[in-house]
Amino acid sequence: MKLKLQLIIESDSGQTEVVHEVTKLERRSLRPETLGLTLSEAKELLQEVQRAMVTHQTTGYVTQQIPCSKCGKIQSRKGKHQIVLRTLFGKLRLDSPRLYHCGCCSKEDHGSFSPLAELLTERTAPELAYLENKFAAVISYGLTAELLAEVLPTGGDKANDPVHHLTE
């Protein structure tokens, strides 16, 4: 048996915008260990769905921020950097363009800005922060990190994760 999972993103009007192949699974013979999804397959599946969905959402948001909110003129691009966002379903690296403010803005606003960095001031998704805090209230933070890494695709080994050390 071969199974192909796709994520289809539609616009509000129902038009297909993106078809993203999430994963392919193959099963030969039925045995207890091949019945359904394994934990590693489920984690990979969730991570890929999260990556595709967040990429689509952030790309749409950034595209909406390119025209000046006051006059509608397209703001010049200064460059881009990456923002790391920790979610329940994995650590994501998001492209975050820097834009120059339009000339119609006040003198204080003539520098550059990153719309995505301004939106995502916390670099840990609320659900992940909630679970980390909930479990850390009853068991040590280290055990909490191990438990979450075991059952969720949170990004793997936190001890070797430089982003994790910044949030502690």
CB count, 10 Å around CB of 95?
13
Q: What is the pLDDT of residue 140?
A: 86
Per-domain residue ranges for the chain? 2-31+38-167
- Which residues, in sequence order, are CB contacts of 136 under 8 Å at separation 6+? 144
Q: Along the chain (168 residues), what's the average pLDDT of each consecutive run of 10 residues?
A: 92 91 91 89 91 93 91 90 92 93 72 92 92 87 84 60 37
Report the predicted TM-score, pTM, of the whole model to 2 decimal places. Answer: 0.77
